[in-house]
Amino acid sequence: MLSKNQQKNICQLSHKKHRQESGLFVAEGEKLVYDLLNSGWKADQIYSTEPIQQTPYTLISFSEMKKISHLSSASPILGVFYLPYYNSIEKTHKEFSLVLDNISDPGNLGTIIRLCDWFGIKNIFCSSNSVDCFNPKVVQSTMGSIARVRCHYVDLHTLIDDCDTKVFAATLDGSSHYRESFPSEGLLVMGSESHGISEALLEKIDHRITIPSFSRRGGAESLNVASATAILLSEIFRS
């Protein structure tokens, strides 16, 4: 049984402001909820329309679930989890990390987090104007990978200034990614869907790389940012 107040509080977690005030976020679906629990994330509440092993949990009706779900088709399980608190960034040597400048589409960020999980990247550094990784649409499209990849919202200028590894920027005017040899440690910067990497940030980066197009004249002007990230990560982790 859900109170009106509980229902309201869960629905409000679709807004960043309410997530920050309450320190909570929502994850839906069996895989996602269990991926978080199995990775040690702490749940405030688990709601299920069916009896489950996990305790404690609250059994609710499917019509109640539909009222709190952020999905177009509600799933049988929804978890309200505590936002993580990363008190310091794990500094791991011999590691590649991803930097995202002003990514605004939740589906793109979710797909990129899933890609990082696949390639074993543990940390993503996002500009503070990027979409929040605990936005329900982002969480959902990570397919559970949000449990294993940390997104840090930081000042990218400071990050690049303080970086003592090689920094690569994905642009449309760089050298071919096929010809680049990537070190085992470094940063890859990807820019926003509509404007690419901001000019001021790009000025700080020496190595520009491009995925060459094989299209006829008048073809696609650019690739989707998640597609471009996929291609470049595959190249970086070439063994």
Q: How, if at all, do strands 43-48 and 77-82 pair?
A: antiparallel
Task: Considering the complex, state which of residue 2 and residue 223 has its C-beta at the smaller distance from its own copies.
Answer: 223
Joined tokens for residue 79: 């978890």
Residue 226 CB, nearest approach to its own copies (Å): 6
Q: Does 120 bind its own copies (CB under 8 A)?
A: yes
Of 10-18, 64-72, 132-140, 225-233, the segment contacting its own copies by CB under 8 A is 225-233
Considering the complex, state which of residue 148 and residue 152 has its C-beta at the smaller distance from its own copies. 148
Query: Of 39, 58, 61, 128, which lies in the binding site for its own copies, with binding defined by CB under 8 A?
Result: 39
Residue number with CB closer to its own copies (61 or 213): 213
* Distance (Å) of CA 32 to CA 4, 27, 38, 76, 145: 25, 7, 10, 12, 8
Count of Cβ atoms closer than 10 Å to residue 71 Cβ = 15
Q: How far is the CB of 151 from its own copies (least distance, A)?
A: 15
| Pattern 64-83, its own copies, x by CB under 8 A | --------------------
Q: Is 37 in the site for its own copies (CB under 8 A)?
A: no
Residue from 18, 67, 148, 208 that binds its own copies (CB under 8 A)? 148
The residue among 197 and 211 lying less far from its own copies, judged by its C-beta, is: 211
Nearest residue (CB) to its own copies, 35 versus 64: 35
β-strand 123-127 against 150-154: which pairing, if any? parallel
**Which DSSP state fits 84?**
P
Long-range contacts of 103-107 (CB under 8 A, 24+ apart): 103/130, 103/131, 103/190, 103/192, 103/193, 103/225, 104/130, 104/131, 104/192, 104/193, 104/194, 105/131, 105/193, 105/225, 106/131, 106/135, 106/137, 106/138, 106/141, 107/137, 107/138, 107/141, 107/226
Residue 218 touching its own copies (CB under 8 A) = yes
Residue 97: partners with Cβ closer than 8 Å, 6 or more residues away: 121, 122, 123, 124, 125, 186, 187, 188
Per rule CB under 8 A, is residue 239 in the interface with its own copies?
yes
| Chosen residue from 87, 128, 178, 184 binding its own copies by CB under 8 A | 178
If binding is defined by CB under 8 A, does position 85 make contact with its own copies?
no
Q: Which residues bind its own copies (CB under 8 A)?
A: 35, 38-39, 107, 111, 114-115, 117-120, 143-145, 148, 177-178, 211-216, 218-224, 226-228, 230-231, 234-235, 237-239
